[in-house]
Chains A and B, each alone.
Chain A
Amino acid sequence: GAVVSQHPSWVICKSGTSVKIECRSLDFQATTMFWYRQFPKQSLMLMATSNEGSKATYEQGVEKDKFLINHASLTLSTLTVTSAHPEDSSFYICSALALLTGDNQPQHFGDGTRLSIL
């Protein structure tokens, strides 16, 4: 159980293109979803936290107008990288927190999206 699906798994596109990444919780409802970015040989860095039906909370240094997050339902969050440039090339990973209470529930991660901007 607790499967998170992320799509697409990889994408290559030209500079200036906008790219949308989907994150779905397949067998549970997620109150909160998180978006991370990971550069080669580095750890995951949290970009933003999104709660269903409300605006995302962005970490310091993350441009909210460039990385648009929509969390329209309890099973879907999307991250859109607008006007992507080569420096946005990275591994983007989402995670979801189940609609459960108590005992510090674990996060469930998608398999990531490798974004390459030419």
Chain B
Amino acid sequence: DAKTTQPNSMESNEEEPVHLPCNHSTISGTDYIHWYRQLPSQGPEYVIHGLTSNVNNRMASLAIAEDRKSSTLILHRATLRDAAVYYCILRGGSQGNLIFGKGTKLSVKP
């Protein structure tokens, strides 16, 4: 699996938007970009995924660069419950496993 690079940590204020970046310069044409998050003492939770076009769901938006070498997870209004480690993962194929990096630890201040 191609590698991703994320900042170790980020801080945000409650009710403000948060942009979590991810670089994946060696992404291949068939790799999907997945985002998961892990709250303390819980298993990871699926957030969003995409291939080429920007994606929106009830949790977040995913903005994918035109050359696909980077992407940004957007939380439109951060809440305290969004404090977690966010993982950006590339996955090829429909049965591929997930290789977790260190992720970005997001802190949300009230």
Q: Which residues of A contact B (CB under 8 A)?
A: 4, 6, 31-32, 34, 36, 43-46, 49, 91, 93-95, 97, 101-112, 114
With both beta carbons as reference points, the residue of chain A lying nearest to B87 in the complex is identified as A43
Point out the residues of chain A lying under 8 angstroms from B46, CB to CB: 106-109
A109 touching B97, Cβ below 8 Å: no
Q: How large is the interface on B (under 10, 10 to 19, 20 to 34, 35 or more residues)?
A: 20 to 34
With both beta carbons as reference points, the residue of chain B lying nearest to A10 in the complex is identified as B41
Instruction: List B residues 67-110 near A (Cβ within 8 Å).
Output: 87, 91, 93-103
With both beta carbons as reference points, the residue of chain A lying nearest to B101 in the complex is identified as A43
- A112 touching B95 in the complex, CB below 8 Å, given contacts A43-B102, A104-B32: no
Q: Complex: how many Å from CA A103 to CA B91?
A: 11
Interface of B is mostly: loop
Instruction: Tell me the number of A-to-B contacts counted with CB atoms below 8 Å.
Output: 59
A107 touching B98, Cβ below 8 Å: yes
- A44 touching B44 in the complex, CB below 8 Å, given contacts A104-B32, A106-B49: yes
30 contacts between A and B (CB under 8 A): A32-B95, A34-B98, A36-B100, A43-B103, A44-B100, A45-B100, A46-B97, A46-B99, A46-B100, A49-B97, A93-B44, A94-B43, A95-B43, A95-B44, A95-B98, A104-B32, A104-B34, A104-B51, A104-B91, A104-B94, A105-B94, A107-B46, A107-B98, A108-B46, A109-B36, A109-B44, A109-B45, A111-B42, A112-B41, A112-B42
Point out the residues of chain B lying under 8 angstroms from A109, CB to CB: 36, 43-46
Q: Complex: how many Å from CA A103 to CA B94?
A: 7
Q: Complex: how many Å from CA A110 to CA B99?
A: 17
Q: Which of A4, A34, A93 contacts B97 (CB 8 A)?
A: A34
Point out the residues of chain A lying under 8 angstroms from B96, CB to CB: 104
- A46 touching B103 in the complex, CB below 8 Å, given contacts A104-B32, A108-B46: no
Point out the residues of chain B lying under 8 angstroms from A94, CB to CB: 43
Q: Complex: how many Å from CA A105 to CA B75?
A: 22
Q: Complex: how many Å from CA A107 to CA B47?
A: 10
Point out the residues of chain B lying under 8 angstroms from A45, CB to CB: 100
